Amino acid sequence: MQRIALITGATSGIGEACARKLASAGYRLILTGRRADRLENIAAQLQSAHETETLTLCFDVQNREEVFQAIESIPKTWQNISVLINNAGLALGRDNFIDANLNDWDTMIKTNVNGMMYVTKALLPFLQQQSGAHIVNIGSIAGKEVYENGNAYCASKFAVDALSKSMRIDLLKYGIKITVVHPGAVETEFSVVRYKGDQQKADATYVGFKPLTGDDIADAIHYAISLPPHVCINDMVITPAQQASAIHFHKQ
Ligand code: NDP
Ligand code: 8X3
């Protein structure tokens, strides 16, 4: 039987790459994000490339009611979800604590932390029914090390790390595997969002080294969710070969 995976933040970057990877591996996909047009485009592309069956759900992970309504609306034929990829997330700004914008802080915490918790909580009744269910959370190297001006983004990703450990313990008796993936620099729309549309600043992030791509992360996730039932990768930190920590790069 085809496995069903639900991917949050499938409209771009790592989430979209996961959708393409899992489509090529024969999954049925529930794709979520706020941009409905992008979801429909990607679904159409996957249908024509791999005959992938998709269900698209448009909601904001920050909004508890929207999350629960969307997930409760999943039709019966789509409820056998065995993989959840909690990927939706963002950074906003890179400001000193003293200058930081409070709305940016709220949005990061509400998206990266509350959003991940709401989606997971809403989906657990479905995941619990599946043997070998697997939750993959996208953390960050910023959730392993704090860097200057990283403040709330780092805190949100440290929370993803802590929640992943907590889920692994609480969900152990339900046989649900938890893997957390902590990428270093991946070239996606992440920096354009972080710098609020300043493309020059975004591009500068990746100058002098070869960043990861969404596909690199999707390949690692596919590996983790394809392992035999008795094997669980708990934690993966994946950086470009030219990156050794959140701030150490060998640029050329
Ligand atoms: P992108 O900006 O390319 O993609 C982010 C995705 O998250 C989009 O699909 C976006 O969809 C979705 N999203 C953001 N906010 C919300 C929301 N409120 N509700 C629903 N969906 C939302 O960035 P990446 O692919 O790089 O980021 C994916 C994850 O990887 C994030 O959690 C990020 O923190 C993490 N990460 C990224 C790294 C990088 O260097 N790129 C490194 C380490 C971690 P839409 O706008 O349509 O809602
Ligand atoms: C994204 C990586 O180092 O810009 O999570 O915070 S970093």
Q: What is the mean pLDDT of residues 105-109?
A: 98
* Mean pLDDT, rounded, of the chain: 98
Domain residue ranges in the chain: 4-238
**For ligand 2, what atom is nearest to the CA of residue 205?**
4
pLDDT at 221 over 90: yes
> How many A from CA of 144 to the centre of ligand 1?
18
Q: Using 50, 70 and 90 to split pLDDT, how confident is the model at 128?
A: very high
The reported pTM is 0.98
**What is the whole-number distance in angstroms between the Cα of residue 33 and the centre of ligand 1?**
9
Percent of the residues in the chain that have a pLDDT greater than 90, as a whole number? 100
Q: What is the pLDDT of residue 103?
A: 98
Q: Decide: helix, strand or coil at residue 185.
A: coil
For ligand 2, the distance from its centroid to the CA atom of residue 194, given in whole angstroms, is 10
DSSP assignment of 122-153 equals HHHHHHTTSTT-EEEEE--GGGTS--TT-HHH
157 is catalytic: yes
Report pLDDT for 233.
98
Concerning whether 21 is annotated as a catalytic residue, the answer is: no
Instruction: Please tell me the number of the ligand nearest to residue 91's CA.
Output: 1
Distance 231 CA to ligand 2 centre (A): 28
Which residue out of 31, 34, 63, 94 has the highest number of ligand 1 atoms within 8 Å of its CB and is therefore the one to mutate?
A: 34
Q: What is the mean pLDDT of residues 54-66?
A: 98
% of residues, the chain, pLDDT over 70? 100
248 φψ region: left (φ > 0), alpha (ψ -120 to 50), beta (else) = beta
- Predicted local confidence at residue 225, as pLDDT: 98
pLDDT at 38: 98
Ligand nearest to the CA of 93: 2
Which of 190, 191, 212 for mutating ligand 2's site (highest number of atoms within 8 Å of CB)? Answer: 190
Query: CA dist 216 to 12, 15, 40, 198, 239, Å?
Result: 14, 12, 24, 25, 10
Q: What is the pLDDT of residues 62-101, one digit of tens each?
A: 999 999 999 999 999 999 999 999 999 999 999 999 999 9
pLDDT at residue 1, rounded to an integer? 80
Mutate to test the pocket of ligand 1, among 32, 56, 158, 186 (most ligand atoms within 8 A of CB): 186
Fold designation for 4-238:
Rossmann fold (3.40.50)
Maximum Cα–Cα distance across the chain: 54
Rounded CA separation 159/198 (Å): 28
pLDDT given at position 122: 98
114 lines ligand 1 (CB under 6 A): no
- In which order are the strands placed within the sheet that holds 177-183? 54-58, 28-33, 4-7, 81-86, 134-138, 177-183, 235-238
pLDDT tens figures, 165-186: 999 999 999 999 999 999 999 9
In angstroms, how far is the first alpha carbon of the chain from the final one? 48
3-class DSSP assignment, residue 1: coil
Spatial CB neighbours of 3, under 8 Å, sequence gap ≥ 6: 26, 27, 28, 82, 83
